[in-house]
Amino acid sequence: MKKAVLLILSFVLVFTLAACSGSSGKDVTGGVKIEKVSDMKGTVRVALAGWQLDNGIDALTGNPTIGLNEYLDKTFKKMYPNIKLEVYQIPWENVKAKQTAMLLSGDADILYTGGAFASQWYQEGLLRDLDDLIEKDTTFDKGIYLEGIMNNSYSTKSPDGSKQFGIPAVLGRRMTIYDRKLFEDWGVETLSAQPGPDEILEKAKQMTGKNPKTGEDNFGLYWSGNSLNGSTFVALTLAYGAKGAEGSLKDIKSIKWHLNSPEMVKVLEWLKEAAQLPPAGFVNAQGAENFGLEKNNIAIALDSTGGSTMSEYRSKQNKELLDRYEPVLNMGPKGEGWVAVDPFIMAKNAKDVDASWEVLKFLTNYMTQKYMYENFSSTPTLKNADFVTPEDKFVKKALEIADVGHSELMDEANPFYMSDIAPAINGFISQAASGNAPDIQKFLDDLQARAEKWSANLK
Instruction: State the Cα–Cα distance between residues 432 and 159, nearest whole angstrom.
Output: 34
Q: Give the dihedral of Cα atoms 98, 99, 104, 105; nearest 10 deg.
A: 70
Reported as a single tens digit per residue, the pLDDT across 55-70 is: 999 877 778 999 999 9
At residue 228, the pLDDT reads 85
Q: Is 308 helix (H, G, I), strand (E, B) or coil?
A: helix
For the cut 80, the answer to whether the pLDDT of residue 182 exceeds it is yes
Reported as a single tens digit per residue, the pLDDT across 131-158 is: 999 999 999 999 999 998 999 899 999 9
Which of 262, 314, 265, 312 has its CA nearest to residue 291? Answer: 312
What mean pLDDT value characterizes the chain? 92
Mean pLDDT of 66-86: 97
At residue 250, the pLDDT reads 87
Instruction: State the Cα–Cα distance between residues 190 and 203, nearest whole angstrom.
Output: 8
Cα angle 364, 387, 87; round to 5: 30
- In the chain, the domains with their CATH numbers are 2-172+340-403 (3.40.190.10), 175-338+414-456 (3.40.190.10)
Mean pLDDT of 278-285: 96
Instruction: State the Cα–Cα distance between residues 216 and 376, nearest whole angstrom.
Output: 35
CA dihedral over 159, 163, 166, 172, signed as positive or negative: positive
For the cut 80, the answer to whether the pLDDT of residue 356 exceeds it is yes
Reported as a single tens digit per residue, the pLDDT across 375-385 is: 999 999 999 99
Which of 31, 4, 44, 418 has its CA nearest to residue 233? Answer: 418
At residue 22, the pLDDT reads 57
For the cut 50, the answer to whether the pLDDT of residue 11 exceeds it is no
Q: Is 346 helix (H, G, I), strand (E, B) or coil?
A: strand
Instruction: State the Cα–Cα distance between residues 243 and 230, nearest whole angstrom.
Output: 14
**Number of other CB atoms surrounding residue 208 within 10 Å:** 17
